[in-house]
Amino acid sequence: MIRVISAFTLLLTLLIAASLTFGDISISWHAVFAVLSGSIDASQQDVMIVLELRLPRVLLGILVGTALATAGTITIAVLRNPLAEPGVLGINGGAAAAAMAVIVLMQDPPVFLLQVAGFCGATIMAVTVFLFAWRGGTSSLRIILIGVGLGALASAVTTFLSAFGEIGDVQRAMIWLSGSVYDANMLKVRLLSIWLVLPIMLTFLLSSELDLIRFGDNAARSLGQPVDKMRGLLIFICVMICGAAVAVSGLIGFVGLIGPHIATRLVGQAHYRIIPVAALVGACLVTSADLAGRVIIAPAQLPAGIVTGLIGAPFLAYLIWGRRHERG
Amino acid sequence: MRTGARTLVGRRMLAFFVLLFLLALGCLLAISVGTTWMPAKTVIAALVHFDGSRDHILIIAIRLPRVLTAIIAGSALAVSGAIMQAVTNNPLASPGLLGINAGAAFAVVTMMTLTGSGNGSSYIWFAFGGAGAAAVVVYALGSMGGIVHHSLGLILAGAVVTAFLTSLTGAVLIFDQSTLDAVRLWTAGSVSGRTFAEILDVAPYATVALAASLFIGRHLTALSLGQDASRAIGQNTALWRGVSLVIVMLLAGGAVALAGPIGFVGLIVPHIVRFMIGVDYRWVLPFCAIAGAFVVVMADMMGRTLFASQNFPVGVTIALVGAPFFLWLARTRVRAET
């Protein structure tokens, strides 16, 4: 556990350093260090590039990755399904439909509006799923099925808009939908971190409840857990976390699914171990994806959401391969 | 007990034939409806005694292939979805989990980008090949993750391969606007403009796999009970998982090649069928075949008439029509775990 955490922390530190150094204009390690330590030797240009362009982007990537992986850990445990990424709650579908509508139906929508639309779409959709699934109590299976059904409706709307929208708009929407941390600034970073602190801490404090609820409703209930209330609370936390992440970065896929699975394969089943490791994995994943996305084919940029799959999927495959002799 | 079982079988047979009759009626209607209305008499005459008149040519060359495509795609996707949900023991599983959609999409997009063209029917083979290759990779990776012992291996492998291929496809599409333009209707799922030749390319695989699926119902029911139960009753789980997945590959690969990834059918029709007739896969599979075909044929007809567009993606109509019904079923039929 400690080894895994320190390894990923080291990796994350290296990724941060690399993200601050590499780019269209390469800045030496010394210069970056000078800028960060506030020394007077740093040139004006370096200060601008590092502090105003690259640093917010890295921090936003870390926040988004942490958020998505934590949210994914919650949904996998609460819905008791290894395929249940936060998108199952309708978060992605709602955000995608809202954002697609804004982009295709409006002339040059401001970025701000897009983010509000994304957050509202995600929250409204998740609340609808939960209310629809509520029938004198909740049930994981019912939430999953209702989520799938409403998700299908939402994606029908998205597909309809994308099939008949103007092709330039559709392409712009696709970039937003694939998720990126392009337009990061310090204000966004601050807002998101304030927003996320409480729910993520709460998730960590509730890790033993996550352990319980995964055993099944009856087992959890007989061990004294108010299952319906706890499920509602956890889903609420998950929507808060994930909705905000989706609003600032679009749909960065696979982190919520791959992060928790990688963590489980590394440190086992207890959630007080899974949550910090998954958060670190998520942060590394998004940071490295953003770095790779802007370096590999520079000056063009690949959205981080596309690269997360390319980096995370082989890593999980490697973990599966490495443990092929274990019987699960 | 015995008479009880017999009446249950009788009722299901009756329901099956009613559904089959509805499907036949729906197909007839779907062929009749269009920019010019063809009376049922003309449709049947064209099928039985083709006389080369304009109406008959229209029916045979345009409308019949469309309905046939819908039938093949619908039943193949629904049956393969049911098989996937039984094999993985997971209500979220769909043919797409085997990497079928992602593989087909990736192959088609790569082909279009490299050759710069989206015409001709060569993409059917690319889609079929991509779907098959992806499924093989998923299965191989899943076996390493312990597919023999646990369905989690398959699920994770499917998620990994799908994630990887979807990312690659997305990366290509973001930079290639003309391919995005050509491929977006395909990804929405559409049954328009298919020719008999294209259908004949795919139909044999789909038909054989569909027929084979009717014989594995027993084993699927056992698989769907979960790993421990199925092994306890003496099932060779690895064998039947393998057989099931080959069938899924042929069915869904063919359907996706022909009509694009129509997501809803493979995921939701099996749930609807199970809500209606229970969890015995000897019945679920044939009902899925008919219900899936019915849903796609009717949805395509509605899309054509209500939105007055020959290219309206059938995937959208299916979701708009089918999702509310499914939501109602899920809300009323799924009880809290006891």
pLDDT tens per residue across span B61-96: 888 888 999 999 999 999 999 998 888 888 878 888
Per-residue pLDDT band for A215 (boundaries 50, 70, 90) equals confident
* Minimal C-alpha gap between B169 and chain A (Å): 9
When pLDDT is cut at 50, 70 and 90, the band that residue B148 belongs to is very low
Which range (A179-188, B115-124, B183-192) has the least confidence?
A: B115-124
Instruction: Please report whether residue A328 resides in a domain.
Output: no
> What pLDDT band is residue A200 in, cutting at 50, 70 and 90?
very high
Task: Verify whether the Cβ–Cβ distance B171 to A302 is below 8 Å.
Answer: yes
What is the predicted pLDDT for the residue at B117?
A: 60
Contact list in B for residue A218 (CB cut-off 8 A) is: 337-338
A327 found inside a domain: no
Which residues on A lie below 8 Å from B156 (Cβ)? 82, 261, 316, 320
Task: Indicate which of A135, A164, A257 best probes the interface with B, i.e. most B CBs within 10 Å of its own CB.
Answer: A164
| pLDDT at residue A66, rounded to an integer | 94
What is the ipTM, given to two decimal places? 0.75
- Does residue B1 surpass a pLDDT of 50? no
Q: Do A328 and B152 touch (CB under 8 A)?
A: yes
Residue A91 lies in a domain: yes
Which chain B residues are within 8 Å of A269, Cβ to Cβ? none
With respect to residue A325, please indicate whether it lies within any of the assigned structural domains: no
pLDDT of residue B160: 83
Contacts of B324 in chain A (CB under 8 A): 153
CATH of the domain at A14: 1.10.3470.10
- Given a contact cutoff of 8 angstroms between Cβ atoms, the answer to whether A159 and B313 are in contact is yes
Q: In chain B, whose CA is at the least distance from the CA of A261?
A: B156
Chain A residues in contact with B326 by the CB 8 A cut-off are 145, 149, 152
Q: Which residues of A touch B330 (CB under 8 A)?
A: 133, 142, 145-146, 149
Q: Where are the alpha helices (DSSP H) in B145-236?
A: 151-175, 177-188, 196-213, 217-224, 227-232
Nearest-10 Cα torsion for A296, A244, A208, A62: 30
Give the pLDDT mean for B219-244.
83
Spatial distance between the Cα atoms of B84 and B177, rounded to a whole number of angstroms: 34
Percentage of residues in chain B having pLDDT higher than 90: 12
Helices B196-213, B64-88: axis angle to 10 degrees equals: 30
Mean pLDDT, residues A184-196? 87
- Per the prediction, chain A carries an average pLDDT of 85
Alpha-carbon gap, residue B262 to B267, rounded angstroms: 10
The shortest CB-CB distance from B188 to any of A133, A163, A314 is to A163
pLDDT class for B120, splitting at 50, 70, 90?
low
Judge whether residue B276 has pLDDT over 90: no
| Sign of CA pseudo-dihedral B304, B118, B100, A177 | negative
3-state SS of chain B is CHHHHHHHHHHHHHHHHHHHHHHHHHHHHHHHCCCCCCCHHHHHHHHHCCCCCHHHHHHHHHHHHHHHHHHHHHHHHHHHHHHHHHHHCCCCCCHHHHCHHHHHHHHHHHHHHHHCCCCCCHHHHHHHHHHHHHHHHHHHHHHHCCCCCCHHHHHHHHHHHHHHHHHHHHHHHHHCHHHHHHHHHHHHCCCCCCCHHHHHHHHHHHHHHHHHHCCCHHHHHHHHCCHHHHHHCCCCHHHHHHHHHHHHHHHHHHHHHHHCCCHHHHHHHHHHHHHHHCCCHHHHHHHHHHHHHHHHHHHHHHHHHHCCCCCCCHHHHHHHHHHHHHHHHHHHHCCCCC
* Domain boundaries, given as residue ranges, for chain B: 75-333
Nearest CA in chain B to A162: B184
Cβ–Cβ contacts within 10 Å for residue B229, how many? Answer: 12
Contact A159 B188 (CB under 8 A): yes
CB–CB contact A152 B263 (8 Å): yes
- Which one of A58-72, A247-261, B104-118, B178-192 scores highest in mean pLDDT? A58-72
Confidence class of residue A282 from pLDDT cuts 50, 70 and 90?
very high
Domain, as residue range, for A203 = 2-320
- CATH 3.40.50.300 holds for B75-333: no
Q: How many domains does chain A have?
A: 1
Confidence of residue B338 (pLDDT cuts 50, 70, 90): very low
Backbone angle region of A180, left / alpha / beta, with phi > 0 → left and psi within -120 to 50 → alpha: beta
Least confident residue range of A206-215, B25-34, B140-149, B247-256: B140-149
Mean pLDDT of A204-211: 91
Work out the minimum CA distance from B29 to partner chain A, whole angstroms. Answer: 25
The better pLDDT of the pair A111, A239 is held by: A239
Q: In this predicted model, what pLDDT tens digit does every residue of A121-137 receive, in sequence order?
A: 989 999 999 888 888 77
Q: Is the pLDDT of residue B118 over 60?
A: no
Per DSSP, the three-state class of A85 is coil
